[in-house]
Amino acid sequence: MQKILLAEDDHRLAALVRDYLTDNGFEVAVEDRGDRVPERVRQLQPDLLILDIMLPGKDGLTLCRELRPAFTGPIMMLTARNEDADQILGLEFGADDYVIKPAEPRILLARIRALLRRIEPGIPSTPQTLSFGTLEVHSGSRSVELEGAPIKLSSHEFDLLWLLAQRAGDVVGRDFLFRELYGRPYDGMDRTIDVRVSQLRKKLGDNPDNPARIKTIWGRGYLFIADAWEAE
């Protein structure tokens, strides 16, 4: 049974989410103070972590930033504020997804299941390596090397890179990426993919002001350039 740690100080909401997820086959622990979350993570070793942004003791964004280097499972943020700044910060600090409160339990469950899928979208069961100049992307070990040096990517960053690299030379639309990565259509407003691409560019040495390796095709999506990975 997969374990979820829910950090939420609204006790009524926490009980509702815990009961719904438990009924759907998850083991759920609840913590209502942010400053106790790191110890609970060490004790419970959850498969997925849900963090409310506004927590007493320590806020969810700070927790996400502090926990991400060691916690390899998915992190989902809960926020009552539908503000781009919170959502972008959460993604930049290492969150995998975010949900606006009050969250419909069925939607929350679908998002959790999408994050916990064991067979990642677009990743072949037989290990493969995609090579472009000095870039190598290995599906088996889910690792990336650039100019011989390992590049540390989050799970979702790797999946995004794999999807784009598989389709090198073709424009890949946001709707396709959302459906493959998150199991839902693009709503025209969600900036999750944009933030992920920005993070990939930084980690892969692509100029964010004038990207040459992963280009934005306005109104259409993203284009992975196969011949832009030679050593400079």
At 5, give phi and psi (nearest 5°): -105, 120
State mean pLDDT over 101-109: 83
pLDDT at 84: 64
pLDDT band at residue 83 using 50, 70 and 90 as cut-offs: low
Domains delineated in the chain = 3-115 (3.40.50.2300), 129-224 (1.10.10.10)
Q: Specify the 3-state DSSP secondary structure of 189.
A: coil
Least trusted range by pLDDT, from 95-99, 101-105, 198-202: 101-105
Report residue 106 as tokens.
């069925």
| Number of neighbouring beta carbons within 10 Å of residue 200 | 24
pLDDT band at residue 119 using 50, 70 and 90 as cut-offs: very low
Least trusted range by pLDDT, from 73-77, 135-139, 187-191: 187-191
Packing angle between helix 37-44 and helix 60-67, nearest 10 degrees? 40
